[in-house]
Chains A and B, each alone.
Chain A
């Protein structure tokens, strides 16, 4: 479903935010270090300390949206998914998540955030959230935002 340049963009390590909702349809956001793209599934590495509500929502209903944004250009892609499951990261994912987190910090340094401040973003003890992809959408601000890209 996702390959080529799009896969590369998603796995480069940009700024990543997730959205979930509870049973009353109250939305929430969570903070993530980045995304791993599988064939028809994705894994997002979520920072649990700052995303408690969203993780609880995911356990309850498994519905997720993930937006990956390159701060310098605002280029953004949104992933929609269902049947999300929470699990520990594999050793390989630990390495990948560490690289993605470092790259995300670098991405905000590029737009003027002080390196010592970027270094304080908490990506310790990440949780892997694996979900089935239901859609991939353009999310860059502009007239095409919301159109399906894959």
Chain B
């Protein structure tokens, strides 16, 4: 008998599993299962979203036969199983439900498409299916963890780098670029939680063609928003399959007249096949979400989740520490060289709280209000150095009185400027102080 633990790649949801059952009269039935969850070497749990024929059969006759397939080789195994019990609460249910919630949130079926129960089955026998593939096809390769010592070393190096960084922008850049360098992550993004409007906004990224700074996700929306809401890590392999399944259910529910929301586009890679999203939490407070993506459906394994969750906890503490540091005192204004003849027009739309640069969207909400204030003060007084403290004291900016994420908002603003208007820069000079530098004339208009 094959050991269940050797079939871990088959439990990643990349290739759907099938379950054969029969009722007490002996009529067979076969259906696909969205999730087969490895519990231990003698048990699996299957997700139950609908009280369907499979479930009714199991109530009459507890025996079933599950087909699982290796996602890389397509080789198959036969699991003879016997129903033990259904759980509709507890840690197992919560973990399986998280994935269903993510599908539901992403495909606009939040609260409608949900896990009814985690059905636990005793595994009576596991048999490789001979002849499923043509003779000479390669045996299923085991997905090894790799050199654990190398991964541990990588974790230590990354942890050291995070500890040593003394500014938030540097910390986020170090965190994401080290993930790519040390853990072979291809695409990583950090989204800061804005408690004032229950949204997450992308502040830093690595591995993407554009930074994506300013991209927003509501708490509870899509995969990242689900992680933010539940504060639990979520690893999705075979995202394409998961979303196809979700869309099939959505189509069926719409045909039944269900009122559904729009599908939430994934931030980041348009062809992401796997995603690992980790919440950064300090105490009860959500700092943000670290989202890793890959076009490889099997990019993230169990160990990634375990290792990187440790790192996420450390990063959360570091972000909190850096965001709370006291600002330094201002220096005298330096002499400014004459500007080039270029001119930039910044427009403030009061109603929408958005700043446009030369007719194109630049930034909005709190970072928009901050930027507009800086531009106004600079153009009226010529002042170039600003401090975080004065921004915190300005009620008109709408920063929360406590835990305002000001640093991360400034990082976002800097990134948007670097991408959309490199002639104007906010350059950190000392702790809590920065200069507004420009290589152009400014024209300001408010509408």
Contact = CB atoms under 8 A, between A and B. Distances in A.
A126 B422 CA distance: 66
A142 B253 contact: yes
B125 to A, nearest CB: 10
Interface string B109-149: 00000000000000000000111111101000000000000
Contact of A69 (B32, B130, B133): B32
A93 interface: no
Most buried by A among B27, B53, B256: B27
Interface string A122-150: 10100000000000010111111110000
Interface string A98-117: 00000000001001110001
B interface, over-half SS: mixed
A21 B27 CA distance: 8
Contacts of B24: 25
Nearest to A75: B248
Given A61-B26, A145-B52, A19 B20 contact: yes
B76 A120 contact: no
B255 interface: yes
Interface in B41-74: 49-50, 52-53, 61, 63-65, 67, 72-74
A78 B50 contact: no
B227 to A, nearest CB: 24
A76 B65 CA distance: 19
Contacts of A142: 50, 248-249, 251-253, 256
B30 A19 contact: yes
Interface stretch (B193-201, B239-247, B364-372): B239-247
B288 interface: no
A76 B32 contact: yes
Contacts of B253: 142-143
Most buried by A among B24, B131, B256: B131
Interface in A54-90: 61, 63-67, 69, 71-76, 78, 80
A27 B63 contact: yes
Given A19-B29, A144-B255, A26 B131 contact: no
Nearest to A137: B53
A141 B134 contact: no
A142 B246 CA distance: 9
A63 B67 CA distance: 19
B53 A145 contact: yes
A65 B330 CA distance: 78
Contacts of B135: 122
A117 to B, nearest CB: 5
A117 B73 contact: yes
A63 to B, nearest CB: 6
A80 B244 contact: no
Contact of A28 (B20, B247, B273, B297): B20
B74 A117 contact: yes
Given A26-B65, A117-B74, A118-B74, A65 B28 contact: yes
Interface of B: 15-16, 18, 20-22, 24, 26-32, 34, 49-50, 52-53, 61, 63-65, 67, 72-74, 76, 78, 80, 129-135, 137, 240-241, 244-245, 247-249, 251-253, 255-256, 273, 297
Interface of A: 17-21, 25-29, 31, 47-50, 61, 63-67, 69, 71-76, 78, 80, 108, 111-113, 117-122, 124, 137, 139-146
Shortest Cβ-Cβ A-B pairs, 5 listed: A49-B131, A142-B252, A74-B248, A19-B30, A19-B20
